[in-house]
Amino acid sequence: MNTTVQTVMKKLINTPERVVRDALEGIAVAHADLIRVHFDPDYIVRVDAPVQGKVGLVSGGGSGHEPMHGGFVGMGMLDAACPGAVFTSPVPDQMAAATKAVDGGAGVLHIVKNYTGDIMNFEMAAELADADGIQVASVVINDDVAVQDSLYTAGRRGVGATVLAEKITGAAAEARMPLAEVQRVCEKVNGWGRSMGMALTSCIVPAKGSPTFDLPADEMEIGIGIHGEPGRRREPLKPARDIVEELATPIFEDLPFNSGDQVLAFVNGMGGTPLIELYIVYKELARLCDQRGLRITRRLIGSYITSLEMAGTSITLLKLDDELTRLWDAPVHTPALRWGV
């Protein structure tokens, strides 16, 4: 059996050209208590921005990874997010306008996933902001252990740790840490977080209308990127326990994580994977962590950094200390993550 899965585009959209705009208009009316959406240039911003005396946090990237990043704007997390076209970097104008909108006098941190377009455009935006007298620092997230270089990336890709960095760094900023400290916390999350993902199916970019890649009906891709970039290898489908072991082992060995470490375990769905499967993945991951003596003291299970309707999962492990645990536990109130309020 080696037939390709025949995939047609079946989406709840109006037109391919309207996808990002319509979704932004949806998030704007749905969450007017938390965020405002600015159009042309497009960015999502906290309803109470700029917060005086607080470091502003800005992230962004291509659309198609929802709820990342727009769903993470709000108290205790991002001050603004810049959505590009699907799987396409936002432009410097968006990032510069968002940076200006959230500057409360304490500087702004850019959290940037390691993709060539994002890096370049956030750098240009930082220069524009600097010309406006805004102090900007930047952290590049590159937690994906799957591959060294990739289709859109020099070095490792930025994936699941981005979600954790936005939450934890958001708490640091909310606690009124100064810019250098907020940057240090974000770098710590990136330094201590490792991820790897896999896909059962491709996704379909609306403007293209056909699958990003072809995956035979009996195969999966291990080490996939969030835009469908090739991973480490294609393999026959396997039981979940074997898939999770293939994802977790390179993570365990990379940092390295050591017996006795406390970790946050993040099991992420790629957009088309139902929750029942994510709990099976979590069960297998918890067993492997247990075998290695890692104590999962915090967890996140759900679809938080996605690739449109791709079926698949990614695993992120973040080593925790008291500081990161405390910041993770701090209140957050965004469309996609909420606790403590």
Three-class SS of residue 78? strand
Find the shortest distance in angstroms from Cβ 49 to a copy of itself: 21
| 69 part of the active site | no
Cβ(303)–Cβ(259) below 8 Å: no
- Residue 185 or 248: the one with the smaller Cβ distance to a copy of itself is 248
Find the shortest distance in angstroms from Cβ 339 to a copy of itself: 6
Interface residue list for a copy of itself (CB under 8 A): 3, 5-8, 10-15, 19, 22-27, 29-30, 63-64, 66-67, 71, 200-201, 217-218, 220, 237, 239-241, 243, 271-283, 286, 299, 301, 303, 306, 308-309, 311-313, 335-336, 338-341
- Residue 64 or 107: the one with the smaller Cβ distance to a copy of itself is 64
User: CB-side exposure of 318: number of CA atoms within 13 Å?
Assistant: 33
- Residue 128 or 311: the one with the smaller Cβ distance to a copy of itself is 311
Find the shortest distance in angstroms from Cβ 337 to a copy of itself: 10
Q: Which of 31, 38, 65, 110 is catalytic?
A: 65
Cα separation, 120 vs 237, in Å, equals 38
Instruction: Please give the single-letter amino acid code of residue 214.
Output: D
- Measured CA to CA in angstroms, residue 240 lies from 3, 90, 150, 280, 282 at distances of 22, 36, 26, 7, 10
- Measured CA to CA in angstroms, residue 70 lies from 135, 156, 249, 291 at distances of 23, 23, 31, 37
Find the shortest distance in angstroms from Cβ 313 to a copy of itself: 6
- Residue 115 or 266: the one with the smaller Cβ distance to a copy of itself is 266
Find the shortest distance in angstroms from Cβ 292 to a copy of itself: 15
| 110 part of the active site | no
- Residue 256 or 274: the one with the smaller Cβ distance to a copy of itself is 274
DSSP state, residue 57: E
Query: Which of 252, 197, 260, 247 shows the shortest CA–CA distance to 226?
Result: 197
Three-class SS of residue 279? helix
Query: Which of 152, 150, 199 shows the shortest CA–CA distance to 310?
Result: 199
Cβ(148)–Cβ(248) below 8 Å: no
| C-alpha dihedral sign at 331, 337, 339, 341 | positive
Q: Which of 31, 69, 110, 227 is catalytic?
A: 227
Q: What are the residue numbers of the active site?
A: 65, 227
